[in-house]
Structures are given as structure tokens and as C-alpha cells.
Structure 1
Amino acid sequence: MNIYDCGIKTMDGQDKLLGDYKGKVLLIVNTASKCGFTPQYQGLEDLYRRYKDRGFVVLAFPCNQFGHQEPGSESEIQQFCTTRYDVSFPVFAKIEVNGANTHPLYRYLKNEKSGVLGTKAIKWNFTKFLVDRSGHVVRRYAPADKPESLTGDIEQLL
């Protein structure tokens, strides 16, 4: 299996493959609307706008597993992202990133790049994974790593 084989659902319930993003540099993030890190949506949007014309895409996956900080429906999440942070990058349907119902994408990401001290579990919202144009997971970032601190790594891949 590779990252491009992972099926995902859009906010409106449509099936999609990550293969649609083949050849792009990806930043994959589990997000939440009611988290202390939620203002990172602005930094993620800034990165997306800065680099999208060079083949960079932010892919957001809302998750309600950490402190129930993403309780809304898909339409509520989409409205929040659009009205509060003017998000224009793709935000997908809610998923689980840990436990028995871990989405296959996150199972793959965690197996490719573990966290601090080799832990695989996602610790909190806004954990980020940087994927190169060939689909290799290059780096995993902690929730506290601000999007603007990733510019050097992104530019190396573009």
C-alpha cells in the first residue's frame, strides 16, 4: 500500500482517492474548531496560498477524538473554516486518527513517521505530516509546531 491508495471522503460525502494529489507536496493535518491550536488554520491557509501555485496542498481532516473539540457536523465545520479563517484548502469529512477505527490514511502516516520517542499515536489536534511529491512521508510535526515554522522544509520539497 502507498499513500495514494487511501480513500477519503469529502465534506459532502463523495469518495475520493489521495491519488488525486499525486505529484504534489502535501501537508496533512488533523484539525479541530474548538482547540487551543485552532488559530493555526490561519497559518495553514497562509502556507497554502503562498505555495499552491508551486504544487503544494494542505489537506485537513477534522477529528473529534481530543477533548471533543470538533463536535460539529461536516457542514458546520466547513462553515466555520470558511467564515472564520477563509480556508480555501481542502477540508475533508471527520475521521478518527487513533484507536480501533483509525482511518487507513492515519494508520499509514503513523507507520511511516512515528512521534517523539517512537510513539505512533497522535497526541492531539494539529499534528502535521509532510509528504513529498512521490508520496513519501518526510516529516511529522507536533501540534505546537506553528505552520510558519515549516516553510524551510516545504521549500526544500518544492
Structure 2
Amino acid sequence: MQIIYWLLIALMMVGIIGAVVPGIPGISLILVAVIIWGIVKGSFAAIEVPVIVTGVVLLIGTAVDFLAGYLGAKKAGASKWGQIGSFVGLLLGFFGLLPTLPVGGPLLGMLIGPLLGAIIGEFIYQRKLLVALKAGIGIFVGTLVGNVIQGILGITAVVIFVWTTWSQVFGT
């Protein structure tokens, strides 16, 4: 039972990383691990609090993800063109359609892609390089802040899971 518990904790750690790094499952992976523990224990009453907390964290994390990018764009004065460019840049970076990077590969592409996409989209719309740079940086910073907040939410969900289930495994 302890081996399964530690494997699920390791899966949750990947979920925390995924909450911060684009392209890796995040808080949803933590929720899956909590549900697997309920199946292993044969009782969902044993994980009632962690499931509720992780479900709420998933909803809040999703909202934060959208709001952080939006607020970063709004604060920097970005238009819809910058936001669309950021999304297209994310997709291009994720699928490796940006020029091959010597290090970092798709993960670095997912960080650089939205920034470049936002700058290009905003430049196409306004034809002002400084405005486009400001908008691109605003979207980029907003997205990074959102990812950090999601990471903190993921850590919170894992801590509550461990807090409520530790005695089930180790009896202390």
C-alpha cells in the first residue's frame, strides 16, 4: 500500500510541475491521483476532502490561467490581435514549428512562442513596434504569473491530500 501511495505522490509532483510548465498535465493529474487513491482504498469517503479541495483548485486554476493572461494583456494595452498571436505562438511553439532551438525544444518553444506571437499579432494590428513589444511582454508576464499561481494551488492540493491520508497509510 505504501508503494502505491508514494507512486501517487510522485504523480502529483508531476502534476505540480505541469501546473507551472505549459504542455504537461497539471492540477487535473493531481485529481486523477487522488481518485486512484480512493479506488485503491476501496472507499471514496477516505478521500472526500482531498477530492473536493482538488476539484475546487482545478476550477480556480483554470480561471486563473485565463484571467492572468487576459489581465496581463489588458494592463499592457494589448488588443485581441496580440492575444490571438499569443495563442498561435503557443501552438507553434508546442508543436515545434518554430525554428529548431539548440536547447529546450518544445518547452522553450512554448515559452518563446506566445511572446513572439503576441508581438507579431500586435505589430500587424498597430504597426508600432514599441507598443507591440509592451503588449507581448504584458501577455507573457501575465501568463507566467498565472502559472506560478497554479503551481501554488497544486502544492496546496497535494499538501491537503497528504495531510488527510497520511494516517491511512502510516497509522500515525
What's the TM-score once normalised by structure 2's chain length?
A: 0.24
Instruction: Please tell me whether Structure 1 or Structure 2 has the larger radius of gyration of its CA atoms.
Output: 2
1 or 2, which has the higher strand percentage? 1
1 or 2, which has the higher helix percentage? 2
